[in-house]
Amino acid sequence: MEKEKVVLAYSGGLDTSFCIKYLSDELNLEVHTIYADTYGANKEFRQELTRKAYAAGVTSHHYIDIQQEFYNKGIKYLLFGNVMKHQTYPLSVSSERTFQAIAVVNYANELGAALLAHGCTGAGNDQIRFDLVFKVLAPDKKILSPVRDLNFSREKEVEYLKNKNVNIDFSKAQYSYNEGIWGSSIGGKETLNSKDFIPEDAWLSQCNQETVEELNIEFKHGEAVSLNGQSLSQLTLIHQLNEIGSRFAVGRGLHLGDTIIGLKGRIAFEAPAALMLIKAHELLEKHVLSKWQLQIKHDMATVYGNLLHEGLYLDSAARDIEKFLESTQSKVSGIVKIKLKPFSFEVIGVDSPFDLHNNKFGEYGEESKLFNASDVKGFIKLYSLPIQLQHSVNP
């Protein structure tokens, strides 16, 4: 009999390598892996990924670069909304999973596979993000998740692969890393408790800059289009900012959040480009948008970030919010200056033709050219009237 086909979301790590062998040997399935790249893997990484997949026993391995789709349908709106989970975390890895899951479904449809699989454990958010996309976009396909269902420990997975003569080095590391264009996450050891900060050598990049450097980022309609006067594609610009920021070791942080299933989770992250772009874009918006645009945008963007973080990107509400966010960006154009120092950066200035902080109307705290003292006194009298009435009745 012909074996059933299963498409596995593959990362090259221990969990998904275990899944290949288990699905192939124990469930007698024809395993096809797909690596949906949200980072821009180099040739050497891709070759090693392919080698490990075939060493574990796949029938075929497929690589697809989804960076552009991730930017067009995700990152762009995270930037428009200045989305930072709990004002800390720029949804670096959590925002990728939906787009990776969509790529898995599309590939399974191409192959005619009736089974979908992932290597998520039963403890985190990723299992929900993958399962939800699979159920919505491929309700007729069955979901397999060996690591979650068997509740295997890392040690047991390594033992299983050794017994199957899979010769891949999975020596136990203290930290796990997920790298993406919008930032990378780091988990393990210190992130498992509440009191410790990860050591310097655990970060993906170390500071090797001692001087100060200034950058000029130009935005047009909310999107970054040039760096230091050089026009670049959005993906190239983000990659360059990641490379520059990594030299200064900026964009680091620790985030404690509430998982979808209700537990607290703690991760370290490095997101130099994401943090620099969000902070630059946020300052530019303060200069060109009105008070109520900023307020409503903040509230809507918070909802959008939560939808994406919690695996609900496919909800129609997300499309409605995207249209709103796009509508707010028509005047978000100008140049923002950033100053980089070892381990930190500052957003120090804005130059925009739409700047509402314009001294032709007066200077804050000094003088106004639009009203005089008697105008202000009358305004304050009327402005205070509702509270005066309240206190006259309820002192």
Confidence band (pLDDT; 50, 70, 90) for 80?
very high
Residue 270 has pLDDT above 70, yes or no: yes
In a domain, 296, yes or no: no
Q: Which of 126, 154, 172 is the last residue of a domain?
A: 172
> Positive or negative, the Cα torsion across 275, 279, 281, 285?
positive
Q: Which of 14, 182, 10 is nearest to 83 (CA)?
A: 182
Q: Does residue 54 share a domain with residue 83?
A: yes
Alpha-carbon distance values, 126 to 150, 202, 310 (Å): 17, 23, 9
Find the domain containing 212 and state its range. 178-289+328-351
Which of 2-11, 32-41, 119-128, 322-331 is predicted with the least confidence, judged by mean pLDDT?
A: 119-128
Looking at the DSSP bridge assignments, the partners of residue 340 are 213, 345
- Examine the domain organization and report whether 119 and 250 are in the same domain: no
Q: Residues 304-312: what's their mean pLDDT?
A: 96
Do 26 and 9 belong together in one domain? yes
Map the chain to HEC letters.
CCCCEEEEECCCCHHHHHHHHHHHHHCCCEEEEEEEECCCCCHHHHHHHHHHHHHHCCCEEEEEECHHHHHHHHHHHHHHCCCCECCCECCCCCCCHHHHHHHHHHHHHHHCCCEEECCCCCCCCHHHHHHHHHHHHCCCCEEECHHHHHCCCHHHHHHHHHHCCCCCCCCCCCCEEECCCCCEEEECHHHHCCCCCCCHHHCCCCCCCCCCEEEEEEEECCEEEEECCEECCHHHHHHHHHHHHHHCCCCEEEEEEECCCCCEEEEEEECHHHHHHHHHHHHHHHHHCCHHHHHHHHHHHHHHHHHHHCCCCCCHHHHHHHHHHHHCCCCCCEEEEEEEECCEEEEEEEECCCCCCCHHHEECCCEECCCCHHHHHHHHHHHHHHHHHHHHHCC
CATH of the domain at 54: 3.40.50.620
Assess whether 276 and 142 both reside in one domain.
no
Question: Is 129 a member of any domain?
Answer: yes
Domain boundary, last residue among 172, 194, 221: 172
Is 17 in contact with 117 (CB distance < 8 Å)? no
**Residue 345 maps to which CATH number?**
3.90.1260.10
Residue 225 lies in a domain: yes
Residue where one domain finishes, among candidates 129, 157, 172: 172
Dihedral (CA of 302, 304, 309, 311) sign: positive
Question: Do 9 and 148 lie in a common domain?
Answer: yes
- Type of residue numbered 238: I
* CA atoms of 350 and 216, how far apart (whole Å): 9
Number of domains, the chain = 3
Task: Please indicate, yes or no, if residue 42 is contained in any of the structural domains.
Answer: yes
Same domain (yes/no): 203, 333: yes
Say yes or no: 83 and 193 in one domain. Answer: no
Confidence of residue 258 (pLDDT cuts 50, 70, 90): confident
Using one digit for the tens of pLDDT, what is the confidence trace for 9-31?
999 989 999 999 999 999 999 99
* pTM of the predicted structure, to 2 decimals: 0.92
| Domain identity same for 219 and 342 | yes
Does residue 160 share a domain with residue 20? yes
Residue 380, domain member (yes or no): yes
Residue 242 sits in the same domain as residue 382: no
34 strand-pairing partners = 9, 62
143-191 confidence digits (pLDDT tens): 999 999 999 888 899 899 999 998 777 665 678 888 999 999 998 878 8
Q: Is residue 64 part of a domain?
A: yes
Q: Are residues 16 and 162 in the same domain?
A: yes
**Token code pair at residue 202:** 């655990």
Is there a single domain that holds both residue 84 and residue 204?
A: no
Do 105 and 137 meet the contact criterion of CB atoms below 8 Å apart? yes
Q: What is the pLDDT of residue 38?
A: 95
Q: Is the pLDDT of residue 365 over 70?
A: no
Q: What average pLDDT does this structure show over 31-56?
A: 95
Query: Does some domain include residue 302?
Result: no
**315 is a domain residue:** no
Q: What percentage of the chain has pLDDT greater than the value 90?
A: 81
> How are beta strands 5-9 and 30-37 bridged, if at all?
parallel
Q: Give the model's pLDDT for residue 263.
A: 85
